[in-house]
A = this chain, B = another copy of it.
Amino acid sequence: MSYSYVSHLECPKCHKTYSDQEVQQLCECGAPLLVRYNLDEVKANWKKSDLSTRDTSLWRYHEVLPVRSEENTVSLGEGMTPFVHMKKLGQQMDIPNLYMKDEGIIPTGSFKTRGASVGISKAKELGVEQLAMPTNGNAGAAWALYSARAGIKATIVMPVDAPNITRKEVAVSGGDLHLVNGLISHAGKIVGQLVKEKGVYDASTLKEPYRIEGKKTMGYEILEQMNWEIPDVILYPTGGGVGLIGIYKAILELKELGWIPEDKLPRLVAVQAEGCAPIVKAWEEGKTESEFFENSQTSAFGINVPKALGDFLVLEAVYKTNGCAIAVSEADLDKAQKEVAQLEGNFICPEGAATFAAAQNLRKQGWIKENETVICLNTGQGIKYPETVNIENLPLLEPGDVIKG
């Protein structure tokens, strides 16, 4: 019985393989690497029923995670986030089986934590002492805090316009925080330079192979919470798209393990904002890669990614599952955020709100059928984006005043 059944790393483009027991970044061909496991051995040694006695962090799936020794896990109890029936909103949208996977309810308040926990655990196992990454905010916060726990120095470079709260999270962790008067692409170049000159570990999206493994646990959890029944549709707010790639990877692994039926796949939907929709454009044109989306902008800061390194993997997941890609307007995502709060009681982030707006549009178009089981993925807490709620002209009471109703 092994803690992990990790086997090796493999390039999904040129199929060259690498060892997971030394530091690897991208493949020689420039593509991101994927982690492979000895799934036959996993199948022989691990049963669904083993899960019932395990704790509720994502490490409950350690057999299919890349960390070989339990002592290297860096965990704050992240995982088994709520899976909530959105009854009233579903009724309104004519999707009675509408659910939300709520990734806001996790340490550091966003789904980025999964990638950080697994990525940093593996970095620790490999003896990494310093890492660096560009970020639009949430990833930097998660990686800085988990790095602090691991005793790794984290150099985080963030646009000056990234959400203020994420900046505070990096600062409180004691992380090496830098602001740049530009976009995430400028931050990326600064990190690239540091990596080249100082040999620092590059923790940029998909430039290390382990973040996906953390993200894929969303797929494992959704299936476990659905009692291993496959939902019809999963909608995911797509910037870098690592979560979507991860969920697809989870489904393929679970099929190999025989834990879910062979004959069905959930249709995966890549949701973007109209102001930054490179994946949607590529999908509409039937292409396998996206082009740089010029002058991108959206209030959903986390999905303002004009060109994702893993775009080809996102599009593959969408095509192979008969999914689709769809862009929503700023007005629609703003409206969806308020509806979710007022009908269901969740204060979700704008990126998560985009998935509800998309579900509504897809239902209206008939792409989603009435009785299908539909899962919207909320990637973070609304409280990290207080500016999305405007309060103006609120009357100020004086002591002794009376409320009328």
Contact = CB atoms under 8 A, between A and B. Distances in A.
Contacts of A106: 105
Interface string A38-72: 00000000000000110111000000000000000
A313 interface: no
A343 B148 contact: yes
B107 A160 contact: no
- Prevailing SS type, chain A contact patch: mixed
A171 interface: yes
A342 interface: yes
Contact of A108 (B347, B391, B399): B347
B400 A189 contact: yes
Contact of A337 (B74, B172, B180, B189): B172
Given A145-B345, A342-B148, A347-B169, A182 B399 contact: yes
Nearest to A398: B181
A145 B105 CA distance: 15
Given A102-B77, A345-B145, A383-B384, A168 B395 contact: no
Interface string A363-397: 00000000000000000011110100101001111
Contact of A160 (B164, B396, B405): B396
A82 B80 CA distance: 10
Nearest to A225: B55
B190 A397 contact: yes
Nearest to A178: B397
Contacts of A189: 399-400
Contacts of A386: 164-165, 168
A151 B345 CA distance: 10
B148 A107 contact: no
A346 B397 contact: no
26 contacts: A56-B56, A57-B82, A76-B345, A76-B346, A77-B83, A88-B151, A109-B109, A145-B346, A148-B341, A148-B343, A149-B343, A149-B344, A160-B396, A168-B347, A168-B383, A168-B389, A171-B391, A172-B337, A173-B342, A178-B397, A179-B397, A180-B398, A180-B399, A182-B398, A186-B400, A190-B400
